[in-house]
Structures are given as structure tokens and as C-alpha cells.
Amino acid sequence: MTATDSSAQATASIEEQGRLIRQFFIGVGRAVAAWTRLEYVGPDQMPPAPALIVANHGFGGIFDVNAFTIAALAGAVTEGIDVPVTILTHQAAWTLGVGRLLEPAGFKPAGREVALEALEEGGYVIVMPGGDLDAGKSFAHRNEIVFGGRIGYAALAIEAGVRIIPVVVSGAGETLFVFTDGQRLARQLRLPSLMRIKTMPLSLSVPWGLSFGVAGMLPYFPMPAKMRAAVLDPIVPERGEEPSALAERVEAAMSAKLTEMTEGRVPFLGMRWDDVVGAAKRIRSGR
């Protein structure tokens, strides 16, 4: 066997690993979508690449229910579109030894150079700018976009000259219960400097029960809270626009959509209070 043949086999093996990992995420995402009765609003096909897809977290990191939901959506709305997809991921995934296993599927450590290269190649780049601040937010803040003032994604879109496609997902914050994000504890443990982790959430989930930090961030069995997802209209950087202004436009659009999705929502059921009252009246009247 020649060196060329060995290289070709190695490349084919990596591509196959990537395909299997993507299928796993899409398959789990579809199962989550069915379990949580996911409602989707948006285009049947993703706007053309290159583009920066900006999404919000639900809870957790790589195993965030939102991440699986977005994987399923991406699989549906990019069907027939043969372009690479890069998922920018927190460095903690590599610190914990998970990131390297996922690299064949397009997971890359979040960074400017990595993202620019992927966009220059004409692909989609998925980023969840809130990081662990958004992923570890408490139940009280579950219906908020928490990006913590991060605007790097906006600077990236301006530099690359690409549109931003916002994706908003609601309901994941009710698939478990998060008491607190644990930012104070994380600071006391010096996690921001040691692992670039700013939260240590205290959560109640199945099967982990009451747990702090890493245990709570592991894959958990979600309660069947109803979820909704939406792909918003692309946001195009304006000539001379500052990153802070573009980030403000993106966050405002995503926050408005998340509020629309969750306003008047009955926790865990996903129905609005008006619908609950109406259903109760119909039951009492025998209709």
C-alpha cells in the first residue's frame, strides 16, 4: 500500500467518523423534538452560505438540549445543501477530552481564526455566544438571551462580510430545574482563570438528582416540556457598523422572538394560561 493510499484511507475514515457523529446528533435531536413536541417556525431551507448562525443555549454545553435540537433543525433545513458546517465549541470540551472526539463532525475550539477560515471556505459557522453564562442560567432567567456583553461574533461577521442567521429555541430551561448559575462559587474555585468556566449551576435533573456543576452538565433525561424553535430573517452588517451595534441588533431580535415564544407560558406544559383557562371551561361545559 502506498503512502497516498494510506492517506486516502485515513481521510475516508475521518469522514465516516464525522458522518456517524452528525447522524448521532441529528438522531438524538429528532428524538428530543418528538419528546418535547417541538414547534418550528422559519424557512424550509437555510439562507445561502457563507453565514454565521447565532443561537442561544438551553442548559449545558455539548449535551445541551438546544444543541441537539439545532442539529436536527440544521439537518432538515440544510438538506440538499452540500456545504461544510463548523460548530464553534467552548475550550472546556477539549480540556475534558471530549472535543477531539467530535472534531471529525465539524466541532472546533471557538476562535476567530477557525471561524474566519470556515467562512472563507463558504460554509456555515454555528456559534452560541453566551457560552456557559447562557448555558448555566437559572430557572428564573430561562426565557432570556444571556450573552454577557460578548460581541466577538458580531466583529467576526463584519470582518468576514457575512450575514448573521439568528436561531432561537425556547423550553429547554424547563426540561430540568436550575436553582442558581453558581457564578460566585465558580469565582471562589478560580474556574474562570483555570478552565474559562464562569458558572457552577445547582440543578435538579433526571437521573442526577440534585447536583452541582459538572454532574448537572452531563447528559440528562429531559422532562417533556414543550419546546419551540425559530430561524429568524438574516441580519446583514451595515457599512461602517460597529460590532457593538450589530450585536445589539442581533440580541434585540432574538430576545423579542424568545419573549414572543414564552409570553404567558405555563411552565413545563408550554401552553399559555389563556389556553389552559379555555380548556378548563370547555371541560366544565362538557364540550
What ranges do the domains of the chain cover?
3-285
As a whole number, the mean pLDDT across the chain is: 88
User: DSSP 3-state assignment of 169?
Assistant: strand
Written as one string, the DSSP assignment of 131-168 is: HHHHHT--GGGTTS---TT--HHHHHHHHHT-EEEEEE
Question: Pick the residue with more confidence: 215 or 254?
Answer: 254
The pTM of the full predicted model, rounded to 2 decimals, is 0.87
Examine the pLDDT at 79 and tell me if it is beyond 90.
no
Grid cell 447536583 is found at 211
What average pLDDT score do residues 260-274 get? 83
Q: For a pLDDT cut of 90, what percent of the chain falls above it?
A: 60
Question: Which is more confident, 195 or 210?
Answer: 210
- Quote the cell numbers at residue 185: 462559587
pLDDT attached to residue 286:
62
Tell me, what's the pLDDT at 60?
Answer: 83
Nearest to 208 by CA among 199, 218, 200, 198: 218
Range from 9-18, 125-134, 165-174 carrying the lowest mean pLDDT: 9-18
Strand order in the sheet with 85-89: 39-41, 228-231, 163-170, 51-55, 124-127, 85-89, 107-109
State the sign of the Cα–Cα–Cα–Cα dihedral 276, 281, 284, 287: negative
222 sits in which H/E element: none
